[in-house]
Amino acid sequence: MSNVKQNKELTRRDMLFGGLRCAALGVMGAGGLAAALKRKKLLREGKCLNNGICPQCHVFADCGLPRARSIRDKNSERSDG
Amino acid sequence: MNPMRRTGIILLTALIISLFFCFAAGADTGALRFPPPDFESGYEMPATETPPSASDIYEYLAVIVLAAVLGLGTYFVFTKRKRKYIWGLMIFSLAFFGFWRRGCICPVGATQNITLTIFDQGYAVPVVVIILFLLPLVLSLFWGRIFCGTACPLGAIQDIVLLKPLSVPYWLEVPLRLLGYVYLGMAVLLAVTGAGFIICRYDPFVSFFRFSGSLGALMLGGAFLVVGIFIGRPYCRFLCPYGILLRHLSRISKWKVKISSDECIQCRLCEDSCPFGAIRQPTGEASGEELARRKKMLAVSIVLLPIIVFAGGLGGARISSLLARAHPDVRLADRIYREESGEVAGTTDQSEAFRSTGDQSIESLYELSAEIQATYHQGSRLLGAFLGLVVAASLIRHTVRRRSREYKADPSDCLACGRCFELCPNERLRRQRIKEEEDLRVG
Ligand code: SF4
Ligand code: SF4
């Protein structure tokens, strides 16, 4: 195979890889954004984000759901008593 | 090392990896379902104390540290090109992400959280987890597997025990690598169906990071480390699901790790330096006969592709009932059915607890189990087809001949450890030049 042909192949490959990279970046960016927005949406709707693992959940301190509230109440009862 | 011993060690690796799957398949998670009994004496069960979540500051700190390690790692691998810097960074990551953060949450396990976020409408992950998961992947699109070489604690713990590296023959390396796809597929399937997060549950090293764990987990981790003395990073190469994502993204990375900083002179000094089998030899000119043979093989592989995918799908569907047993509700329903029909005598803790709580009727449990099994049927079919596709793609990849005039680090397998740099005479010349320039500047 001549060098010219090989270089052409390389450029074609580079272009293909460049395109794939952009596509992958786009998918990851869009996916990341969608996941972050989903979290916001669930929080707004007052839904549990973490399958009820309250004490280890990031929003436990401010969570208004009944389970989180009752655990917080129990915790404060325990610390008072 | 003599060939007998080498074969023995390689077989041992295969055995440990099979044991890993048995361990994962046989573990009983039923205890999680066991509800507290009703005490007639009035005894009150103490509430389970779970430590509060780490404050958000620590979570963001982890992201900042990861970004810094990846940035520094890229600089060390691509500019400094020195193993000792890369090694130092790796040790830091082992201490910070492994022992200090206790291996959690890491991008490897986050694969499942992200999967569940995609498939479960009621589940979402914190932004920190999204960033931790995506950062190494995005980086790999540009610089390859810097994360594996410098930031991953699982990789680091295996790297430090690698004292007497042996090469795994290519014919064995390729099928062993396919196991990672099985593990990734299973992890996705089990996460989606709510059966659990197997990557975290069967993480072989987390018990070391936490200085605690079941005997089985400790033994499994220990076995990986013992094998890791001879076989470079067995978990990374043959199992890690996140490594598979990194592998594919690195293949199209913009900049690749180069063994030689200059044109390769084919001195062959680096040939055996990679303990992870990532160095590819120059191919030379192919004869017309070989090209014709490869073309034929390529055509056959392409024809075989849909057949293998279809067969994989069929095979997956056939084992769906077996896979569905990973779900606790399916196991419970099966147990109750066998007890009710008199197939087995006696009860288990789970079946007794199910009856005594009375929260759910047996019929509704059966219905739930049937629903889950239907999901598994679809999921296993897809999993089988996916594995078929992986096998077919691997066949095609091996029929395509890539021309290369130099020794190259295969971007998909290179873990950016920097070992091969040290042996390249071009690299030594480069370092000497830099030193001379620095001396001149100082002088
Ligand atoms: S292959 Fe997986 S476990 Fe190994 S270093 Fe890479 S991400 Fe970590
Ligand atoms: S830098 Fe890559 S090719 Fe070189 S020894 Fe390390 S893993 Fe192997």
- pLDDT tens-place string over residues B284-296: 777 888 889 989 9
Whether the CB-CB separation of B157 and B224 falls below 8 Å is answered with no
| DSSP labels, B280-293 | E----PPPHHHHHH
Does the pLDDT value for residue B30 go beyond 90? no
Whole-number pLDDT of residue B28: 44
Does the pLDDT value for residue A81 go beyond 60? no
User: Is position B302 within any domain?
Assistant: no
Mean pLDDT over B225-238 rounds to 94
Mean pLDDT over B279-283 rounds to 89
Alpha helices in B76-169 (DSSP H): 83-93, 107-119, 127-143, 146, 153-161
How many Cβ atoms sit within 10 Å of the Cβ of residue B168? 25
Which residue, judged by its Cα, is nearest atom 6 of ligand 1? B148
Mean pLDDT over B183-209 rounds to 89
B53 to A28: CB separation less than 8 angstroms, yes or no:
no
User: Is position B266 within any domain?
Assistant: no
pLDDT digit string, tens, across residues B111-161: 988 998 888 888 888 888 899 999 999 999 999 999 999 999 999 999 999
- Kindly report the average pLDDT of chain A as a whole number: 78
pLDDT digit string, tens, across residues B301-323: 999 999 999 999 999 999 999 99
User: Is position B325 within any domain?
Assistant: no
Range of the structural domain that residue B94 is part of: 3-32+58-259
> Interface pTM (ipTM) of the complex?
0.77
> Phi-psi bin for B282: left (phi > 0), alpha (psi -120 to 50), beta?
beta
Q: How far does A66 lie from chain B, in Å, by closest CA?
A: 16
Which residue, judged by its Cα, is nearest atom 2 of ligand 2? B414
Whole-number pLDDT of residue B32: 44
Whether the CB-CB separation of B110 and B187 falls below 8 Å is answered with no
> Phi-psi bin for B171: left (phi > 0), alpha (psi -120 to 50), beta?
alpha
**Residue with the larger pLDDT of the pair B26 and B423:** B423
B254 to A21: CB separation less than 8 angstroms, yes or no:
yes
Nearest to A39 among B50, B124, B134 (CB): B124
Can you give the length of chain A in residues? 81
B443 — pLDDT class (breaks 50, 70, 90): confident
User: Is position B294 within any domain?
Assistant: no
Whether the CB-CB separation of B58 and B105 falls below 8 Å is answered with no
Whole-number pLDDT of residue B285: 78
User: Is position B249 within any domain?
Assistant: yes
User: A28 to chain B: which residues are within 8 Å by CB?
Assistant: 134, 137-138
Q: Is the pTM of this model over 0.90?
A: no
Q: How far does B424 lie from chain A, in Å, by closest CA?
A: 25
Judged by its nearest atom, the ligand closest to the C-alpha of residue B183 is 1
Give me the number of domains chain B comprises. 1
User: Is position B279 within any domain?
Assistant: no
User: Is position B401 within any domain?
Assistant: no
Whole-number pLDDT of residue A12: 86
User: CA B49 to CA B44: how far, in whole Å?
Assistant: 15
B245 → chain A, closest CA residue: A24
Mean pLDDT over A23-52 rounds to 84
